[in-house]
Amino acid sequence: MAVPRSRISNSRRGKRRAHDFLSPKSLAKCTNCKSLVESHRMCDSCGFYKGKSYKKAEQA
């Protein structure tokens, strides 16, 4: 059974985990409606991506 030779101190463990945080999502402006959208995603409000409409017309 594997047993560590000595205890890892809190500061050493913290140094190792210093880069394990989540980075904020990168947002870009929609070219059609100018709302904030995640990069490389279709706009939720208008349905445009790269100048084309991908959202189906809403039925009445």
| pLDDT tens over the chain, length 60 residues | 788 889 999 999 999 999 998 888 899 999 889 999 999 999 998 989 988 888 775 555
Query: What pLDDT sits at residue 18?
Result: 92
Contact 52, 42 (CB under 8 A): no
Query: What pLDDT sits at residue 58?
Result: 56
- pTM exceeds 0.75, yes or no: no
Query: What pLDDT sits at residue 53?
Result: 87
31 CA to centre of own chain? 20
Query: What pLDDT sits at residue 57?
Result: 59
47 CA to centre of own chain? 19
DSSP structural state of residue 5? S
